[in-house]
Amino acid sequence: MSHWGFPKPRLERGMEPWRPNPRNPMDRIYPKTFCFNFRNLLYANGRKLCYLCFQVEREDDFSYNDSDRGVFRNKVHPWARCHAEQCFLSWFRDQYPYRDEYYNVTWFLSWSPCPTCAEEVVEFLEEYRNLTLSIFTSRLYYFWHPNYQEGLCKLWDAGVQLDIMSYDDFKHCWDNFVYNKGMRFQRRNLLKDYDFLAAELQEILR
């Protein structure tokens, strides 16, 4: 863990030669898991996992159902670690093999993509040229590091919408990706460092 409270970037090493087998995502996560892992924080001690909540809208009126929605998190494998983004890409290629169809994909991430995942997402978008991707992230992963800034810029240049999760995004996730047992969404300091992170992201992409 770095002095900033971020998971160390060495987790990327060794990922390139290995690709995960597609697997089914989780339906939802528990409230404590959501509130702990998705809080907008500059210093994020103890948050070593990345969660990815997604929804896939297809061409037919851009509607989606429960089968087009779910949650991935980092997958640990004996030979390599697979980030949540890589789990989604592998799953998507298996579920939606037709490259010429139109898709609208939205991600809600607890950490922004690392450089390796950013590169793989750009390659993925070159395969699915009729797919649009929007990424709303709770926190910026090593945002002061040039390689990580470059990865975000590559996503932006590839047409990916990038933004920091707002109140509406948190509420949407609470309603659709959390076992909330009918409880209404409450802010719970989830947007503590939103203004700083939003400004930092805009500066990176400028």
Which residues are annotated as catalytic? 85
How many CB atoms sit inside 10 A of residue 92's CB? 18
Q: Are 139 and 196 in contact (CB under 8 A)?
A: no
Q: How far apart are CA 46 and CA 70, in angstroms?
A: 24
Q: How far apart are CA 108 and CA 127, in angstroms?
A: 22
Conformation bin of residue 79: beta by default, left when phi > 0, alpha when psi is -120 to 50: alpha
Please, which residues bridge with residue 107 across strands? 54, 135
